[in-house]
């Protein structure tokens, strides 16, 4: 499998358990690695033969901007499932960074890997 990646996709959303987090949008960042086979696209130079990372990013931006979760774990899982199901990706690694949620840390978040169920 080949990997198409998308790094540091910044999206504003409601995420967190504290009262102030429920009222203030925060910027999260997504890094994605998505397995696919690019050989046919490379041979034909046809966007229809590959994973359209712009379509993936637009779908995730729309979803995350309109989401309202307490935990980054839930948001990461939902994003991974969108990629797997809607874009027929067999495997995804997703890193969700909640930014400066912890004083003194430049980032905090979660890294998950998910694959299609056989």
Which structure tokens are listed for 73? 């774990």
Burial 75-112 (b: 16+ CB within 10 A, else e): bbbebbebbbeebebebbbbbbbbeebeeeeeeebbee
Catalytic residue among 43, 54, 58, 98: 98
**Signed CA dihedral, 72, 75, 79, 81: sign only:** positive
CA distance 106 to 95: 15
98 is catalytic: yes
Q: Which residues are catalytic?
A: 98
């Amino acid at each position: 499998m080949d990997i198409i990646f998308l790094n540091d996709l910044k999206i504003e959303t409601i995420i967190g358990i504290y009262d102030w987090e429920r009222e203030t949008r925060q910027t999260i960042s997504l890094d994605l690695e998505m397995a696919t086979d690019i050989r046919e696209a490379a041979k034909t130079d046809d966007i229809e033969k590959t994973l359209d990372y712009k379509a993936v990013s637009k779908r995730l931006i729309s979803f995350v901007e309109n989401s309202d979760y307490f935990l980054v774990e839930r948001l990461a899982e939902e994003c991974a499932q969108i990629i797997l199901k809607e874009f027929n990706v067999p495997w995804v690694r997703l890193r969700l960074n909640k930014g400066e949620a912890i004083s003194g840390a430049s980032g905090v978040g979660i890294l998950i890997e998910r694959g299609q169920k056989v």
